[in-house]
Each structure stands twice: as C-alpha cells, then as structure tokens.
C-alpha cells in the first residue's frame, strides 16, 4: 500500500539526549514536512523539503535538524538544544504538482522527555 | 507565526445540525485546504479550493473562499457523531512555494 510511515509511535527521551524520528513515504512525492503539535493546539512547521538534498527552516526550527538524502526519507532529529521537546510530531508529504498541494500525513510520533 | 486562524476554537452541536467554522489568513495564497484530525492521529485532507474559486462542494462539505477578506469557511451539513474531530485550514503562500502553513484548528463535538 502507498503511504507515509512514521516510527516509532511513542518515544521517550532523557534530558540531554538527541533522538531521531523516522518518516518514510512511498508516494513518490517531492515535498516533505515536519510539524509539531502541542496539546489542543494547531500544527507548527519545523522544517520542509522540496527536493532531495535541499530543505528549509520553518517557523520553529531551533533545536531540530533534518536531512533529505533520499526522496523517500526525511528524518527529524530533536537535539538537546530543544528545551521543551515533549509534543506530538507529524510528518507529511505532497506531490506539489499542477497546483495540487494536498498533503498526506503519517500517524505521528508522540515524544516525551523523562 | 501561523498563517491561518480558525474560529471558533471549539464548537458543540447536536447531530443533524450544520456546523460552520471559519479560517482567516494573512498573506496572498495559491490554495486553501481543509483537513480533519481525529484525536491523537494524523490529518486527513478534506477539500482544496484554489484562489480563483469562490465555492466548492464535496459530499456534505461546502467551502467558500473570499480572497478580498482573506477568509474561508467550512460548512458541514447534517452532522453526524462521527464528524467529531478537529478541523484545520492550511494555506500555501504566493511568495513561499511548498511552505504549507496550518491554522490553530476548530474542535468540533457532535452530540448524538
């Protein structure tokens, strides 16, 4: 089945540790995105990538890093510099072709700092 | 900063009633989209309206777009308990291709 997969579903991190969230898509989409969602809030854009080996900062990039070495993969690293990382993280992809910007979302990773 | 802001933040209605939620945005856009999110899950795309369109329908959904007021509305007719979810608008700006920005969302509760 085609889709976008995030793993793990739940992740626990000790303070001071870096952790990496996985996002893989087999939809052949060029664009990929990472969003953060806090309880009862909307989605805030962390990073986005239009094409392999290229990515841009979103509105809340501080304390996060990404890579886009393959079209299918867009992992997000939450670094120790992120002071309040506990949140729900959502990955999305989009074909962005012919004005069709519909985004497909993974099921999310819930990160908790312990 | 978030591009879109939804209103109301929360809405509670009886099954069978219509639900209307609004979205305002700040900059010129290419498209505006509406998404639905069930609690603790990813978002699901509902409908896209282009900047040169004024109204669009999909099943029980009706979306309007007023670019002069930088606002959109989503109407769900004959609501069902299964429509209970959060609804978000999303925009991609003319000057920021690929950058998809979401609003703060409306939490809809449909009481059986």
CA A6 to chain centroid, in Å, comes to 9
The predicted-structure confidence for A1-41, as pLDDT tens digits, reads as follows 569 999 999 999 998 899 999 999 999 999 999 999 998 88
CA distance A61 to A111: 16
The predicted-structure confidence for B35-90, as pLDDT tens digits, reads as follows 999 998 999 999 999 999 999 999 999 999 999 999 999 999 999 999 999 999 99
Token reading at A79: 């670094």
CA distance A59 to A70: 24
Q: What is the pLDDT of residue A73?
A: 98
CA distance B35 to B29: 17
The predicted-structure confidence for B77-112, as pLDDT tens digits, reads as follows 999 999 999 999 999 876 666 788 899 999 999 999
Using alpha carbons only, give the angle B23, B25, B26 rounded to the nearest 5 degrees.
Answer: 165
- Least-confidence region, from A37-46, A61-70, B76-85: A37-46
Task: Kindly list the residues from chain B whose CB atom is less than 8 angstroms away from the CB atom of residue A90.
Answer: 42-43
H-helix or E-strand containing A64?
strand A64-66
The predicted-structure confidence for B16-38, as pLDDT tens digits, reads as follows 999 999 999 988 888 899 999 99
Neighbouring CB atoms inside 10 A of B94's CB total: 11
Q: Does B43 touch chain A (CB under 8 A)?
A: yes
CA distance B25 to B45: 19
Residue where the block lists tokens 């007021």: B69
What beta strand segments (E) does chain B contain? 5-7, 10-14, 19-24, 29-37, 43-50, 55-58, 61-66, 71-76, 85-93, 100-102, 106-111
Contact between chains at A42 and B102 (C-beta distance less than 8 A): yes
Most confident of the following: A82-86, A96-100, B69-73: B69-73
Contact between chains at A102 and B50 (C-beta distance less than 8 A): no
In terms of C-beta density within 10 A (0-12 exposed, 13-18 middle, 19 or more buried), how is residue A49 classed? buried
H-helix or E-strand containing A97?
none
Confidence of residue B1 (pLDDT cuts 50, 70, 90): very low
Confidence of residue A101 (pLDDT cuts 50, 70, 90): confident
Task: Kindly list the residues from chain A whose CB atom is less than 8 angstroms away from the CB atom of residue B1.
Answer: 59
Task: Kindly list the residues from chain B whose CB atom is less than 8 angstroms away from the CB atom of residue A35.
Answer: 102
CB A19 within 8 A of CB A13: yes
């Amino acid at each position: 089945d085609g889709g976008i997969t995030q793993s793990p579903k739940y992740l626990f991190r000790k303070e001071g540790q870096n952790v990496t969230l996985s996002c893989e898509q087999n939809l052949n989409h060029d664009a990929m995105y990472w969003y953060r969602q806090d309880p009862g809030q909307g989605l805030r854009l962390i990073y986005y990538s239009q094409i392999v080996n290229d990515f841009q900062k979103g509105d809340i990039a501080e304390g996060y890093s990404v890579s886009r070495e393959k079209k299918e993969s867009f992992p997000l690293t939450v670094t120790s510099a992120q002071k309040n990382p506990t949140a729900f993280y959502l990955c999305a992809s989009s074909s962005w072709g012919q004005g069709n910007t519909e985004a497909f979302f993974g099921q999310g990773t819930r990160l908790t700092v312990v | 900063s978030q591009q879109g802001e939804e209103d109301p933040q929360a809405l509670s209605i009886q099954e069978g009633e219509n639900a209307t939620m609004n979205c305002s945005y700040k900059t010129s856009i290419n498209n505006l989209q509406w998404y639905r999110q069930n609690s603790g899950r990813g978002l699901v795309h509902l409908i896209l309206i282009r900047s040169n369109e004024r109204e669009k329908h999909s099943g029980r959904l009706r979306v309007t777009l007023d670019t002069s007021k930088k606002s959109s509305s989503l109407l769900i007719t004959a609501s069902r308990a299964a429509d209970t979810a959060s609804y978000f608008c999303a925009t991609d700006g003319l000057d920021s291709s690929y950058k998809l920005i979401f609003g703060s969302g409306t939490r809809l509760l449909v009481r059986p």
